[in-house]
Chain A
Amino acid sequence: MANILVLVKQVPDTNARIVLSGDRVDLSAVKKVMSPYDEFAVETALQHREASGGEVTAITVGGAGADKVLKDAKAIGVDHIVRVDCDAQLDSNALQTMLASVVSNLGADVVYCGKSAADTGAGSTGPGLAECLGWASVSNTTSVSFGDQLSVITPSSGGNARINVPLPAVVSCDKGDIKVRKPNVKGIMQAKRAQVHVQSVEVPASTISVVSHSMPPAKPAGKSYEGGAAAAEVAQLLRDEANVI
């Protein structure tokens, strides 16, 4: 019987246009979804439960608006949902310290998370949380097999490596070949009634602060050509002008 945790994060829909208001990103009109890689983490957590028995608890950090991502996880099949109540902008140290305290309190054999969140793209939470807990970690896995240890596949120089990971561990999941299950009607009904367990944890001070957001610098217009014959000239320019070949 395994005690399985999975971290999920609510992010702007990855197809949404991002706009600024002053020098900050304005997400007020943007639909929020579960970060895509977290869907693989949830699926892996559910497969782990099916292989070994046990329970899966999904955790998110945020304000009440973040309950939606937990209900989505519940509808797919997790057993318990926990929101760490904190709406503040946190740096990695503050966030991971909070999560480590929550994970320690809940107790766990394994924590799954997405390889990175679609908003920051940082990928820091999994390995950082593992270090805070003194656990093993492995990142960017494309396949996980379950036993007393985990056996995972992760990219390695020149190909992939199959790696044994002792438990407890934090595993960050890439897309891989697994198919993510969709919620069914029963799951959605259960999710509606499900209780979100709200936890409050002391928040350490952040040492990294956001100064501003901006749009990416516009790229100067490039050279354009009509017809395939131009490929010869472009090849020459790649060598003589751009110096990249």
Chain B
Amino acid sequence: MTETVVIAEIVKGAVHPTTAELITAAQALGSQPVVVVPCADASLADGAAQFSGAARILAAKSDVFSNYDAAGWAAALDAVAPAGVIITSASPQSKDLAARLAARRGISVVQDVVQIENGNLTSPIYSGKAMQTVSLSGNAVVSVRPNVFDASGNDGSADVSVVDTSGNVATAVQEFMARASTRLDVAEANIIISGGRGMGNPANFSHLEAIADTLGAAVGASRAAVDTWEEIPHSMQVGQTGKTVNPNLYIAVGISGAIQHLAGMRSSKYIVAINKDADAPIFQHADYGIVATWEEALPILQSTLSTMMA
């Protein structure tokens, strides 16, 4: 049986729930995983103990983990993680870590895995226009897309042990620059509402922002919107030359569904499309498609959601 190790996903100083999905992925590949929690303060690891299916929890404690540095994190995790297939999240930071950690161990990395079957791993390639299935011979590091595997559950009671580790940090943070808006970034959000050129002008994105605030969602945009209006920054762009996202819910408003855009969001769990053009390609990918202008649909969506969320 393949030994497996999960590197817990840390977001904003806490163990992220996607870690429970990584445990499921690890079980699909082999044994119950050892869950390694990178932390500066070992109490952080208690946040992983609730997840079902872990063999044990290892709090890897080091000041290295105060800020992200790929070299330092890879060294400190390599020093304490048992041998085996290592599973990380496929968030941008964890993909970077996965690559560095694999190279440190002289093994290979398979990124963005969305399916594990008979030990074979499947990932999207060409921005989701095709899928690639690979087999492993020997150990590897595997990053797993969030919101694809079921969570392992919350009735875990694995032992937590603490081990000190260290690594040489190469880079130094000079300053953090918080986003002007308190709204989530599309790369971090579980719900995204995006606008395209169909929004008419950038000021109309305020209607998307209002719904985003109701849902705790991020606001995204198509490349057409970003290229057309300088008020819409590239950081909001979802798609092939923007961000690839995998939220639970993606609401596309006034977006036709160019292949460029689909590449960045087609693997979202649920997709809602609002577009006045019934032939827009986005509708072929929507779980719920509404043929209407945004002016008709958004006020009703907003008021219904406000009532539901109240």
Please give the residue numbers on chain A whose beta carbons come within 8 Å of chain B beta carbons, in ascending order: 12, 14-15, 17-18, 20, 25, 36-37, 91-94, 96, 118-132, 135-140, 151, 153, 155-166, 169, 175-177, 206-216, 219, 222-232, 234-239, 242, 244-245
Assess whether B176 is in contact with A121, with CB atoms less than 8 Å apart: no
Residues 274-295 of B at the A interface (beta carbon under 8 Å): 274, 283-293, 295
Residues of chain A contacted by B12 (CB below 8 angstroms): 157-158
A to B CB contacts below 8 Å, 12 in the list:
A25-B126, A120-B111, A124-B111, A131-B99, A137-B100, A137-B170, A161-B176, A210-B133, A216-B129, A216-B266, A224-B288, A238-B249
Partner of B70, one of A18, A127, A155, A223: A127
B83 on interface, CB distance cutoff 8 Å:
no
**A228 near B297: Cβ-Cβ < 8 Å:** yes
B118 to chain A, nearest CB (A): 10
B301 on interface, CB distance cutoff 8 Å: yes
Q: Are A131 and B291 in contact (CB under 8 A)?
A: no
The answer to whether B206 has its CB under 8 Å from any CB of chain A is no
Interface-side segment among B21-29, B44-52, B152-160, B240-248: B240-248
A224 contacts which chain B residues (CB < 8 A)? 283, 286, 288-291
Contacts of A212 in B (CB 8 A): 132-133
The reply on B298 being an interface residue by CB < 8 A is yes
Give how many B residues have a beta carbon under 8 Å from the other chain's beta carbons: 97
From B263, which residue of chain A is reached at the shortest CB distance? A14
Q: Which residues of A contact B134 (CB under 8 A)?
A: 208-211
Q: In the complex, A15→B127 CA distance in Å?
A: 11
Residues of B within 8 A of A (CB): 11-12, 67-68, 70-71, 74, 92, 95-104, 106-112, 120, 122, 124-138, 140, 170-179, 185, 187-188, 191, 215, 234-235, 240-242, 244, 248-249, 259-260, 263, 266, 269-272, 274, 283-293, 295-301, 304-305, 308-309
Tell me whether B136 and A242 are in contact (CB under 8 A).
Answer: no
| B102 contacts A93, C-beta separation under 8 Å | yes
Complex alpha-carbon distance, A164 and B133, angstroms: 38
Residues of chain A within 8 A (CB-CB) of B130 are: 18, 20, 25, 213-216
Interface of A is mostly: mixed
The answer to whether B107 and A244 touch across the interface, beta carbons within 8 angstroms, is no
Closest to A120 in B: B125
CB A243 to nearest CB in B, in angstroms, measures 9
| Separation of A131 and B108 alpha carbons in the complex (Å) | 12
Report whether A206 and B108 are in contact in the complex, using a CB–CB cutoff of 8 Å: yes
- Bound Cα distance from A17 to B128, whole angstroms: 11
B300 A231 Cβ-Cβ under 8 A = yes
B100 touching A207, Cβ below 8 Å: no
Contact of A235 among B111, B136, B304 (CB under 8 A): B304
Known: A14-B240, A163-B171, A206-B108. 15 other contacts (CB 8 A): A12-B126, A14-B241, A122-B111, A135-B71, A137-B96, A139-B70, A140-B96, A161-B175, A176-B234, A214-B122, A216-B124, A224-B283, A228-B290, A234-B288, A244-B249
